[in-house]
A and B are shown apart, each in its own frame.
Chain A
Amino acid sequence: MRLRIKSHPILGRDLRKDMVSIEVDGKVIPAYEGEPMAAALTASHIKVLRKTKKRKEPRGIFCARGICTECVMTVNGTPNIRTCVTLVEKSMKIETQEGLGKWREKPKQARKKI
């Protein structure tokens, strides 16, 4: 079932044509460049965007306006990216985030011994 709105009573017709490729958990999906990531994910029928920290329960879009952080995913290695307000860039690498996600490892600082 097609999940994109082709024609809208107020917004008119969707005249966008050129799509780019982005990667979600290794799978390549099409997206319009500059559209909210959550729109592209929904259009590809991807509803589960992350798993909760404690019980690993699935979560997805909730408020759709950037204030609830239910839709966050790890993008190009950076966790906690709100997919409903972050726009698609081509070749983005998106991963279903587990819990709070992992930041890139920083090299351990040498500790000064007094």
Chain B
Amino acid sequence: MLNMLRSSGVLSEQELMELPGVPSMELVEKGPVAVIECAEMIPCNPCEACCPTGAIKMGDDMNNLPIIDAVKCTGCGLCIAACPGLAIFVVNGAHTKSEALVSIPYEFLPLPNVGDQVEALDRQGKKVCMAKIVQIRSSKKFDKTTVVSFTIPKEKCMEVRQIRLPGGMQRKQ
């Protein structure tokens, strides 16, 4: 169980799709849904607690892995900011015919600007394509975690989970 995660620190695609918090590709392609890449059983429940529609459940034991109900999920993104492990994303596989809209927690400065072209990285930190920033949300409910939304080619929507801004260490803060 979870051999790739345990040995390399990164979930393999197979391990990912088996998690109860990860909806099937069919559901992702229907519209925005939370993808909860939570694989460790730890006592943690901010995702369940913050969900306004009750789409995230872990039953009677908060050590359980969260289960996503794609029908109840509206893709609001509150859980993206609530998860202390930065493990929750909202993926909209129906954004356009060729592109998916992915929302991630982004806790770095400087923030990108809407319209910027940035590098899109996979779970190993490797660049897989470019992303275009569509929305940047910092609300009081997100409590100092900014949620950045960007478009990428649809086929990469279950790979891309981070962005890298150009410029490296020389960026002005």
Contacts and interface: CB of A to CB of B under 8 A. Distances in A.
Q: Does B associate with A?
A: yes
Interface string A1-37: 1000111111000000000000000000000000000
Interface of B: 107-110, 144-146, 169-170, 173
Contacts of B146: 9
Given A6-B173, A7-B109, A9-B109, 12 more contacts: A1-B169, A1-B170, A5-B173, A7-B110, A7-B173, A8-B109, A9-B107, A9-B108, A9-B144, A9-B145, A9-B146, A10-B144
Size bracket of the A interface: under 10
Interface of B is mostly: loop
15 contacts: A1-B169, A1-B170, A5-B173, A6-B173, A7-B109, A7-B110, A7-B173, A8-B109, A9-B107, A9-B108, A9-B109, A9-B144, A9-B145, A9-B146, A10-B144
Contacts, number: 15
Contacts of B107: 9
A63 B145 CA distance: 27
Contacts of A6: 173
A53 to B, nearest CB: 35
